[in-house]
Chains A and B, each alone.
Chain A
Amino acid sequence: MTVKGGTSQACAACKYQRRKCSADCQLARYFPPDNPRMFQNAHKLFGVSNILRILKNLDPKKEEEAMRTIIYESKVRDRYPVHGCYGIIVELHCKINQAELELEAVNAQLNFYRQQQHHQMSQSSPPPNHSPPHLQLGNTSPINALPLFQQHPHQSYNDMASGINQQHNSLSNGSNGVVYNRNPEYVESKEGIVNSFWVPCNNSLATQPQFIATQAFPIQQVPEAPQDYDEMPVFFDTADDRQSYIESKDAYESSPESSLKDTKQPIEQVAENELKSAAAFFTLTSVN
């Protein structure tokens, strides 16, 4: 079978149908004569007329994409005559579920390690709240005040939480922001189809990673944002020496400087005064 007016071979489609392959044969470019099996699969599943009908309603630019998927589906159906593409979809859903479970468990383990590391770090540096504030105020130099403030555990806890949140966001939204359907949406309306067609996963969910059962995750209490007001006076005591505050004059007068003079002042009153001066500091100065 030859092309009219030429010596080139007819395409696989025309060869199979035993007809002349014209120059404007729509299927010629997709079904080369050296691969008859490809056309046979497509013909078996869709049929020539159905393929042409699908292509007829499409934008010519999308024709090639559509043909590729048609050939792909036919190939899958040839290989798996019972389940075809749907079987692959169900299997992929199973694998995704299992991978997400595994990722959850691994993230939990990572969280445990991070908490452990944080706990070790906090234990290695002596907590400043154990020493009386009035003694701290007098002895702490300006150089030491800033590092004490920066080493506050609240900061590292936020980093941990944001990392975990990013993991969850990426799982739910997909890496490119595409929302993946958890269930084959085309059969959701037909319960009978879903129930009768449920394909058991090759690896059952019962065989979860073993470290879930064997490992106990101790709950570490992470100290939250500064309830330790005693620490703040150390910082702002040194700042008060450099600046003056209009609104907090009273607080300034009753600042730690005065507590140095009168050591009999109760610790709680000192802490409250320091809190007021600290609040004033934040309102009047800008954070750079």
Chain B
Amino acid sequence: MPPRARVVDHPCAACRTLRRRCGLDCILAPYFPLEDLESFMVVHRIFGASNVIKMLQEVEESKREDAVKSMVYEARARLQDPIYGSAGAIFHLQRHVQDLLLQLQLTRATIMDFQDQRDQLLSTLMGPQHLDQPSSMTNNDGVLGHGSDDILLDDSTLGYNLIEFPVDCELWQL
């Protein structure tokens, strides 16, 4: 979604907060409209305006809006939870994914048992030639069968490699 065209007469939220003149070349103006003062204030409080500007300058213009949105999200997360920030949400979700993977594994194992029982029964009753072909019903690979470590480092493809947290976090002890 392209950024809205700014009105020249009115400063952007960033320049209003910083109390400076909002020029035509203000890099923050397209992403911090005056109507949304709160977003810039949060980002400025956690990261600082200069850091935000530097990070935007390093990113392609087409991706700057996404970058700003993610920074606003992380800043709000850090404000709400000064200790864990948005990393806390990642830990919770990683744990949830692991739980789901385990449940999938267990359920698939139970299904395999049923299929083995059925195959044994069929082979007993009718002989080995009547055994079914390997069932395609259980998709052993599944969506997450290859694990969740997709190693795609390019932001544009939106893949990621789960970066292992360097030390144990208390969240794991929930």
Contact = CB atoms under 8 A, between A and B. Distances in A.
Contacts of B78: 54, 73
Contact of B94 (A46, A49, A92, A100): A92
Contact of B87 (A83, A85, A99, A117): A85
B130 interface: no
A99 B90 contact: no
Interface residues of A, number: 75
B142 A102 contact: yes
A196 B65 contact: yes
A92 B150 contact: no
B82 A66 contact: yes
A209 B70 contact: no
A69 to B, nearest CB: 4
B8 interface: no
A28 interface: no
Interface string A211-231: 100110000000000000000
B107 A110 contact: yes
A170 B103 contact: yes
Given A88-B90, A109-B138, 6 more contacts: A46-B48, A47-B51, A102-B144, A184-B89, A199-B158, A211-B139
Given A98-B144, A100-B100, A102-B142, A202 B93 contact: no
A249 interface: no
Given A46-B51, A50-B47, A81-B59, A117 B114 contact: yes
B101 to A, nearest CB: 7
Classify the secondary structure of A's interface with B: helix
A131 to B, nearest CB: 27
Interface residues on B, range: 35 or more
Interface in B98-149: 99-101, 103-104, 107-108, 110-111, 114-115, 117-118, 136-139, 142-144, 148
Interface stretch (B12-20, B22-30, B160-168): B160-168
Interface in A98-121: 98-100, 102-103, 106-107, 109-110, 113-114, 117
Interface in B28-53: 39, 45-48, 50-51
A85 B70 CA distance: 8
A107 B66 CA distance: 38
B139 A210 contact: yes
A183 to B, nearest CB: 11
Contacts of B55: 44-45, 77, 81
B158 A103 contact: no
Contact of A106 (B51, B86, B111, B160): B111
Q: Which of A65, A70, A72, A199 has the most CB of B within 10 A?
A: A72
A65 B70 contact: no
22 contacts: A44-B51, A47-B47, A58-B82, A62-B83, A81-B67, A84-B70, A87-B158, A87-B160, A89-B90, A95-B148, A98-B144, A99-B104, A103-B107, A109-B138, A110-B111, A110-B114, A113-B114, A175-B99, A180-B96, A187-B72, A197-B70, A210-B136
Contacts of A89: 86, 89-90, 93
A20 interface: no
B39 to A, nearest CB: 8
A72 to B, nearest CB: 5
